[in-house]
Chains A and B, each alone.
Chain A
């Protein structure tokens, strides 16, 4: 091989290497741009889905006329101490709390010591095999409140609480339980039409925006009440908190 020939082939190799490097550089730039673009689009889709949901919810929202606290709770009793109870009808610990302290609450209401405000939140929809029992039962409770039977219906729902991760009670059963406490056709229609299901979402959002994350959340005169080690308060602890709030 002559010297000239060797030089030419070396030059050719260098040009090829430069071309390949140039291609890699171009590919890297454009794929990076594509990645950033994809992520921005994904973020915008997420934001769009959220805004769309918020506006659909706003248009579908029916607030029960009897609801208090910005339309997110049902008040029982007329006592001076306000007690807020955030409960999910699917939540076993809420059931436990109702079993332990339900009678005490009923007595305190009857003695005009407290006003109990029930907030039927729906945070356990995942625990009913896709039937959204938490939302459906909260919506049904709102329909019961419109029919003037909230506390009665609240009781039968806990007495008949389905197991977590079961299908929950179906609408027919929810209506049957309503009939058992004296609710009529308007109630049945509201359950079947899911009239208050969107409202249950609003109650849940209000609950979250107040910084609460678990059920039951029990708030006596604006102060969250917990038992020892973050457990649910006993009936005695509950009474004591009410007495303390009266001052």
Chain B
């Protein structure tokens, strides 16, 4: 098979995969915005009132990015915004790690401080987020995908 023909399919898998990541991450937080605020607060990067606002907005943004990727609208831009979010998350985790905080990253949960006796898994958290960043990278490079709104609007078959 020629690579040129395979790319739209590879990109489609990346698009749907990244979409699922954002939908799940947002969906897990949206049910309890108080928890989400505390997860942001646990990073100790801003005062609690700011953390509350960020904690409330973040899950809605994640779900929006997930839905945009799911339908495939402006894939390159959506992927770029997703990548930007991931870079912010990775930076947050690195900063928590560097300051020796013992927190749950709150990536796919509501986060917060870890109970005594549990150790933070920052290395794995970062590796996983870099993996997601790679998916976004594929879409930035080759944004043409199957079953997308973009394809429909461009009149592709």
Binding site for B on A (CB under 8 A): 23-24, 27-28, 31-32, 34-36, 38-39, 41-43, 45-47, 49-50, 53, 92-93, 123, 125-126, 201, 204-205, 208-209, 211, 213-214, 229-232
Contact = CB atoms under 8 A, between A and B. Distances in A.
Nearest to B37: A208
A32 B102 contact: no
B81 A39 contact: yes
A164 to B, nearest CB: 9
B60 interface: yes
A31 B38 contact: no
Contact of A208 (B38, B53, B74, B154): B38
A50 B34 CA distance: 9
Nearest to B102: A230
Contacts of B41: 208, 213
Interface of B: 32-35, 37-38, 41-42, 44, 47-49, 51-53, 56-61, 63-65, 67-68, 73-74, 77-78, 81, 102-103, 110, 112-117, 149-150, 153-155
B48 A205 contact: yes
Contacts of B44: 211, 213
B135 to A, nearest CB: 18
Contacts of A208: 37-38, 41, 48, 51
A93 B48 contact: no
A178 B53 CA distance: 37
Nearest to B116: A231
B74 A31 contact: yes
Nearest to A132: B32
A32 B74 contact: yes
Contacts of A45: 60
Given A35-B78, A42-B63, A93-B115, A50 B56 contact: yes
B121 to A, nearest CB: 17
A93 B61 CA distance: 35
A-B pairs with lowest CB-CB distance, top 3: A214-B113, A42-B64, A46-B60
A43 B61 contact: yes
Contacts of B115: 92-93, 214
Most buried by A among B51, B59, B153: B153
B34 A204 contact: yes
Given A23-B154, A35-B68, A43-B61, A126 B110 contact: yes
A47 B57 contact: yes
B81 A46 contact: no
Nearest to B26: A42
Given A35-B74, A35-B77, A232-B116, A126 B32 contact: yes
